[in-house]
Amino acid sequence: MTDHSRGPRLRSPLRGPWLTSVFGLVLLIGLPVVIVTGLLSYIAYGPQFGQARPGDVGWLHLPYFAWPTRPSWLYRLTQGLHVGLGLILVPIVLAKLWSVIPKLFVFPPVRSPAQALERLSLIALVGGALFEIITGVLNIQYDYIFGFDFYTAHYWGAWVFIAGFVTHTILKVPLMVRSLRSRSFREVLRTSRADTRPEPADENGLVAEDPTPATISRRGALALVGGGAALVAVLSVGQTTGGFLRGAALLLPRGRSYGNGPNDFQINRTAAAAQITPEQTDDTWRLAVAGGAEPVQLSRSQLRAMPSHTASLPIACVEGWSTVETWTGVRLRDLADAAGVTAFASAKVTSLERSGAFNQAVLTADQVRDADALLALEVNGAELSLDHGYPARIIVPALPGVHNTKWVQSIEFREA
Ligand X SMILES: Nc1nc2c(c(=O)[nH]1)N[C@H]1C(S)=C(S)[C@@H](COP(=O)(O)O)O[C@H]1N2
Instruction: Give the binding site for ligand X (CB under 6 A).
Output: 266-269, 274, 315, 317, 351, 353, 356, 358-359, 388, 401-402, 404-407
Q: Which of residues 37-96 bind Mo ion (CB under 5 A)?
A: none
Residue closer to ligand X by CB (options 45, 407) is: 407
Length of the chain: 416
- Rounded Cα gap, residues 93 and 100, in angstroms: 11
Asked if residue 164 binds Mo ion (CB under 5 A), the reply is no
Contacts (Cβ under 8 Å, ≥6 apart) of 40: 78
Cis peptide before 213 (omega within 30 of 0): no
- Rounded Cα gap, residues 71 and 69, in angstroms: 6
CB of 319 to Mo ion, least distance (A): 6
For residue 347, give the nearest of 373, 308, 309, 324 by alpha carbon: 373
- Rounded Cα gap, residues 135 and 84, in angstroms: 15
CB of 152 to ligand X, least distance (A): 17
Measured CA distances, 240 to 69, 319, 364 (Å): 20, 11, 26
CB of 362 to ligand X, least distance (A): 14
Residue closer to ligand X by CB (options 236, 268) is: 268
CB of 404 to Mo ion, least distance (A): 8
Residue closer to ligand X by CB (options 92, 402) is: 402
Coil/strand/helix, residue 196:
coil
Q: What is the DSSP letter of 107?
A: B
Asked if residue 24 binds Mo ion (CB under 5 A), the reply is no
**Sole binder of Mo ion in the list 317, 330, 375, 392 (CB under 5 A):** 317
Residue closer to ligand X by CB (options 2, 355) is: 355
Asked if residue 402 binds Mo ion (CB under 5 A), the reply is yes
Contact 263, 379 (CB under 8 A): yes
Residue closer to ligand X by CB (options 13, 46) is: 46
CB of 250 to ligand X, least distance (A): 19
Q: For binding to Mo ion (CB under 5 A), which residues are involved? A: 317, 401-402
